[in-house]
């Protein structure tokens, strides 16, 4: 008879996500995850095959809802897709920075996850941007330039704030509110019109 999980797997995933943000994948300890989640190591092994499988599930747990939201917004407009991306980079700036560090230090399972999944939101953005270009009658020769412009103006500022916090915790800075993100997205949309017209 299978054992009841009492949502222990979800609890371990939440603990793992917090530890991944703080330490990165390389320093994540399965024993520490089990201890902080208040379960024994056997329960960890019951729910997850190994550390690599656990990290993959933690990453998917954070990334899948974001992609679902993007796909829902994809039917709406470019501005909503950009706002979703801005919120994700704000809410997960620590995780993204840790993942970049993991890839640079040679964590193969993280690099594999990013190769397989992380380009999905860029593909969605490119598709919505292409549709926006047609609707606005922009010159297609500016499409690649516009794509890079939007990524750097909407998502990158949140990562830079996260980097600043990581490098100098004493200089902790308040993250942007939803209304600030919406203003940035609106500004990016206005700039898009400027750079895409002949």
- With respect to residue 95, please indicate whether it lies within any of the assigned structural domains: yes
- With respect to residue 43, please indicate whether it lies within any of the assigned structural domains: no
Q: In angstroms, rounded to a whole number, what is the distance separating the alpha carbons of residues 11 and 15? A: 6
- With respect to residue 130, please indicate whether it lies within any of the assigned structural domains: yes
- With respect to residue 15, please indicate whether it lies within any of the assigned structural domains: no
Q: How confident is the model at residue 2 (pLDDT cuts 50, 70, 90)?
A: very low
pTM for the model stands at 0.80
Q: At what angle do helices 178-196 and 120-136 cross, to 10 degrees?
A: 50
Nearest to 14 by CA among 95, 116, 111: 95
Range of 102's domain? 62-196
- With respect to residue 147, please indicate whether it lies within any of the assigned structural domains: yes
pLDDT per residue as tens digits for the range 74-92: 677 899 999 999 998 888 8
- With respect to residue 22, please indicate whether it lies within any of the assigned structural domains: no
Other C-beta atoms closer than 10 Å to the C-beta of 194 total 7
Q: In angstroms, rounded to a whole number, what is the distance separating the alpha carbons of residues 149 and 153? A: 6
| Beta carbons within 8 Å of 51's beta carbon, 6+ residues apart | 28, 30
- With respect to residue 57, please indicate whether it lies within any of the assigned structural domains: no
User: Rounded mean pLDDT of the chain?
Assistant: 85
Domain count, the chain: 1
pLDDT per residue as tens digits for the range 118-175: 788 899 999 999 999 999 999 999 999 999 999 999 988 888 877 776 677 666 667 7
Question: What's 183's domain CATH number?
Answer: 1.10.357
* C-alpha distance across the termini of the chain, in Å: 69
- With respect to residue 136, please indicate whether it lies within any of the assigned structural domains: yes
Other C-beta atoms closer than 10 Å to the C-beta of 36 total 16
């Amino acid at each position: 008879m299978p054992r009841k999980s009492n949502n222990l797997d979800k609890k371990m995933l939440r603990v793992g996500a917090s530890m991944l943000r703080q330490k990165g994948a390389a320093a994540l300890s399965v024993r520490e995850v089990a201890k902080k989640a208040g379960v024994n190591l056997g329960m960890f092994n019951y729910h997850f095959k190994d550390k690599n499988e656990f990290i993959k599930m933690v990453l998917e747990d954070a990334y899948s809802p974001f992609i679902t939201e993007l796909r829902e917004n994809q039917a709406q407009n470019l501005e909503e897709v950009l706002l979703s991306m801005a919120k994700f980079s704000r809410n997960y700036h620590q995780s993204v920075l840790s993942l970049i560090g993991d890839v640079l230090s040679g964590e193969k399972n993280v690099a594999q996850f990013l190769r397989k999944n992380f380009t999905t939101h860029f593909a969605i953005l490119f598709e919505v941007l292409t549709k926006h270009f047609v609707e606005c009658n922009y010159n297609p020769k500016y499409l690649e330039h516009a794509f890079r412009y939007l990524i750097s103006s909407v998502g990158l500022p949140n990562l830079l704030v996260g980097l600043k916090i990581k490098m100098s915790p004493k200089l902790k800075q308040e993250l942007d509110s939803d209304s600030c993100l919406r203003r940035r997205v609106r500004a990016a949309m206005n700039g898009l019109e400027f750079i895409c017209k002949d």
